[in-house]
């Protein structure tokens, strides 16, 4: 009886999954890992530096820098959730991941992505208030409001992503356990099921469109209002500086959202997309933003740039 119970449980939920890596590029895994590893190191150093500077300098404990600090934390978690395992797949051929380990990775990937999306929205709002309502900045974004916004970013991600775990747990897999991916994501796991995944598809699309999609709409609105205000600045130099900053922010935001939405919708509608293209882009939206964010939001900010230069000059 015990043996039959174990067999049935294994058939319903496999004890392990096998992550194939990038389908069709298995022979290039060793070389493909080099740029991914390099970007991971840059992400760790860049975001670690931003965190250290903001946390050790009390003059930077303002809303803009606290949001940047939260962004660096989410970046570090986002890339560290997937990259170490991906590198072991590429270099050590360690393709096996436990069932619960896979669900844990899936939960963190989607939760941190949703949190980072909310943080980008909070930073866009901060930028809007600073440029369009400068006289009311300290009253609108005081310490209490900033703390509540940061907490809301994290809680929202947890609340909307936790149902993914429940939706996967209800699915039988009938022995299917090979995932053609470098990490575990919701629809990649759900597609292995031998039962209807319609609830999974509907809920994931709902979250992508109503939550992340709404973030995109609100971020676009914020930067639209910012650009409108910039156009009315009397100084051409001020206009150029504001356009330069906003343009860099918009580019990073596009790099974050475009590959993400491409990956989301490829699972549902992109049956003609080559698997290796899908998987590479699915990795880029988790890795490229953590590399670029410290450069665009950190070094591009005068106060942080001066402290970085002062830090390295002081060590010489």
Name the pLDDT band for 10 (thresholds 50, 70, 90). low
Task: Report DSSP letters for 33-72, one per residue.
Answer: HHHHHHHHHHHHHHHHHHHHHHHH-GGG-SHHHHHHHHHH
How high is the pLDDT of residue 284? 87
pLDDT tens column, 181-204 = 999 999 999 999 999 999 999 999
> Can you give the pLDDT at residue 310?
64
Q: Is the pLDDT of residue 5 over 70?
A: no
What's the whole-model pTM score?
A: 0.89
- Tell me the pLDDT of the chain averaged across its residues: 87
Please tell me the predicted confidence (pLDDT) of residue 163: 96
Going by pLDDT thresholds of 50, 70 and 90, the confidence category of residue 217 is: very high
Lowest mean pLDDT among 4-13, 15-24, 57-66: 4-13
Radius of gyration for the chain, computed over Cα atoms and rounded to the nearest angstrom: 22
State mean pLDDT over 31-56.
92
Residues near 304 by Cβ (< 8 Å), separated by ≥ 6? 50, 53, 54, 60, 65, 68, 298
Q: What would be the CATH architecture of the domain defined by 16-313?
A: Up-down Bundle (1.20)
Please name the residue ranges forming H helices in the chain.
Answer: 2-12, 29-56, 63-92, 99-132, 137-140, 143-169, 186-190, 198-206, 213-231, 236-269, 275-293, 302-315
């Amino acid at each position: 009886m015990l043996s039959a119970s174990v067999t049935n449980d294994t058939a319903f939920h496999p004890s392990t999954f096998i992550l194939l890596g990038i389908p069709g590029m298995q022979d290039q895994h060793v070389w493909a890992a080099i740029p991914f590893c390099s970007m991971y190191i840059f992400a760790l150093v860049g975001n670690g530096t931003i965190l250290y500077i903001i946390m050790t300098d009390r003059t930077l404990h303002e809303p803009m820098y606290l949001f940047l600090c939260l962004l660096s934390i989410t970046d570090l978690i986002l890339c560290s959730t997937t990259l170490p395992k991906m590198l072991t797949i590429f270099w050590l051929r360690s393709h096996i991941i436990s069932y619960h380990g896979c669900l844990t990775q899936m939960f963190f990937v989607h939760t941190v992505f949703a949190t980072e999306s909310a943080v980008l929205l909070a930073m866009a709002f901060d930028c809007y208030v600073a440029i369009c309502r400068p006289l009311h900045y300290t009253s609108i974004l005081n310490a209490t409001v900033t703390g509540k916004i940061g907490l809301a970013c994290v809680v929202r991600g947890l609340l909307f992503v936790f149902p993914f775990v429940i939706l996967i747990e209800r699915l039988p897999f009938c022995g299917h356990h090979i995932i053609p991916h470098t990490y575990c994501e919701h629809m990649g796991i759900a597609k292995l099921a031998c039962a209807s995944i319609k609830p999974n598809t509907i809920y994931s699309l709902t979250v992508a469109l109503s939550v992340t999609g709404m973030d995109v709409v609100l971020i676009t609105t914020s930067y639209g209002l910012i650009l409108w205000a910039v156009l009315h600045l009397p100084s051409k130099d001020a206009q150029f500086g504001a356009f330069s900053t906003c343009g860099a922010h918009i580019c990073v935001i596009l790099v974050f959202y475009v590959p993400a939405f491409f990956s989301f919708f490829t699972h549902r509608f992109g049956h003609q997309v080559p698997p290796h293209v899908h998987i590479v882009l699915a990795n880029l939206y988790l890795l490229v933003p953590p590399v670029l964010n410290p450069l665009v939001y950190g070094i591009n900010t005068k106060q942080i740039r001066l402290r970085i230069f002062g830090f390295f000059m002081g060590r010489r």
